[in-house]
Amino acid sequence: MRTQAAVSYGPDTGFTIEDVEIADPRPDEILVRVTAAGICHTDLVTKAMMPAGVPAVYGHEGAGIVEATGAEVTDVRPGDRVVLSYNSCGTCGSCAAGSRAYCARFAALNNAGRRPDGSAALSLDGSDVWSSFFGQSSFARHAMATRENVVVVAADTDLVTAAPMGCGFQTGAGSVVNVLRPEPDSSLVVFGCGGVGLAAVMAANALGTGTVIAVDLAKQRRDLAAQLGATHTLDGADADLVERIRELTGGGATHAFDTTGVPAVVRNAALALGRLGSLVVVGLGAGDLNLDTMDLIGGGKTVRGSIEGDANPKELVPLLLSWQAEGRFPAERLITALPFERIDEAVARMRTDVVKPVLTFATS
């Protein structure tokens, strides 16, 4: 069938809305009519690495309505509302142990640009399109997903708000809920107040964390963090930033979370920890970090990375939606909805006034 997709032709191009062909669902696949799709920095990082001239469709924070399912899919039905997340095989050792974000086939299922069998879900003028990004490629009016990366949600779910819970909000909140696990007497410092960082702030607040410090260069985002539960906010450009954090936390934070991937920021995050403190890093930035090994060893500190907040989407997405319904995770405060056709504007505004852009799809 034909549908429309936002096609990229390389790192230096914008997106063009084009008619593409989407294949019929295989036995284990699910065809979803996309009604909302968040834009994540991972979409843009991947786009920046794609060779020029290669048609590609990104998008991995999709949400929509199931239109058709393959013969082997028995627990998802046409008409179901769904949130799309990362793909996993469901059978490897990591998946069986509950660590789906570390699936042995993660790269092949999420970043190869093709279905697991090597075929393309999308084509343009008879040629394959790099697609199946995170098992979906949801910058399109229809996406081909699988049972493993589809989360069925309630019929009254606001899919515009729910869409980023498949990745960005899941990464921030999941890193707090699943990895750092702060307690009421804990102190958490969040470096970077974009969608991921602010999701971490909201999750920490929902868990009742006693001290939540938000660090960002932009006053507007620091102010928003305060409204969402941060007990303190600090300017990331403050020359005495580490000392300020140590003062606020009585000698160093118990937990820290970095979304920036900037080596100097990660170094400060580690230095700001108290003894036996833990830092989780999720920002995609420079490959090399310059950490103070004497500080790490002497303080017994832990630094680790996390994919998707170590989350199983089928567990975390419903939790975040329940928190939102209770007013404990006001994700809607972060979202700016823009029509699908204005995707280039949405990308540009991520650098200025928009925390989390979500594309919306009018019925056509």
pLDDT for res 285: 76
Is the pLDDT at 281 greater than 90? The verdict is yes
Whether residue 149 is contained in a domain is answered as: yes
At residue 314 the predicted structure's pLDDT band, cuts being 50, 70 and 90, is very high
Range of the domain at 132: 2-157+330-360
Give a yes or no: residue 134 inside a domain.
yes
Q: What is the mean pLDDT of residues 114-122?
A: 95
Distances (CA, A) of 345 to 34, 61, 102, 338, 361: 20, 18, 34, 9, 15
Confidence of residue 288 (pLDDT cuts 50, 70, 90): confident
pLDDT > 90: percent of the chain: 97
83 located within any domain:
yes
pLDDT at 362 (0 to 100) = 86
pTM, to two decimals: 0.96
Residue 191 has pLDDT above 60, yes or no: yes
Task: Look at residue 86 and tell me whether its pLDDT is greater than 60.
Answer: yes
Tell me what pLDDT residue 364 has: 55
Question: Where in the chain does DSSP place strands (E)?
Answer: 2-8, 15-22, 29-38, 61-69, 81-84, 122-124, 127-129, 142-146, 150-153, 187-191, 211-216, 232-235, 253-258, 273-281, 302-305, 335-339, 356-360
Where residue 250 sits, what CATH number does that domain have?
Answer: 3.40.50.720
Averaged pLDDT of the chain: 97
pLDDT at 183 over 80: yes
Shared domain check, 146 and 73: yes
**Token digits for 81?**
């509302």
pLDDT at 287 over 80: no
End-to-end Cα distance, the chain: 14
Question: And the tokens for 59?
Answer: 């998008």
**Which residue stretches of 98-240 are H helix?**
106-110, 159-162, 168-174, 195-206, 219-227
Q: Are residues 189 and 84 in the same domain?
A: no
* 305 and 187 together in one domain: yes
Residues 197 and 257 sit within 8 Å (Cβ to Cβ)? yes
pLDDT band at 349 (very low <50, low <70, confident <90, very high): very high
Residues 147 and 7 reside in one and the same domain: yes
For 192-243, the pLDDT digits (tens) are 999 999 999 999 999 999 999 999 999 999 999 999 999 999 999 999 999 9
140/104 same-domain check: yes
Looking at the fold, whether 213 and 247 belong to one and the same domain comes out as: yes
Identify whether residues 150 and 173 lie together within a single domain.
no
Number of structural domains found in the chain: 2
User: In this structure, are 192 and 115 located in the same domain?
Assistant: no
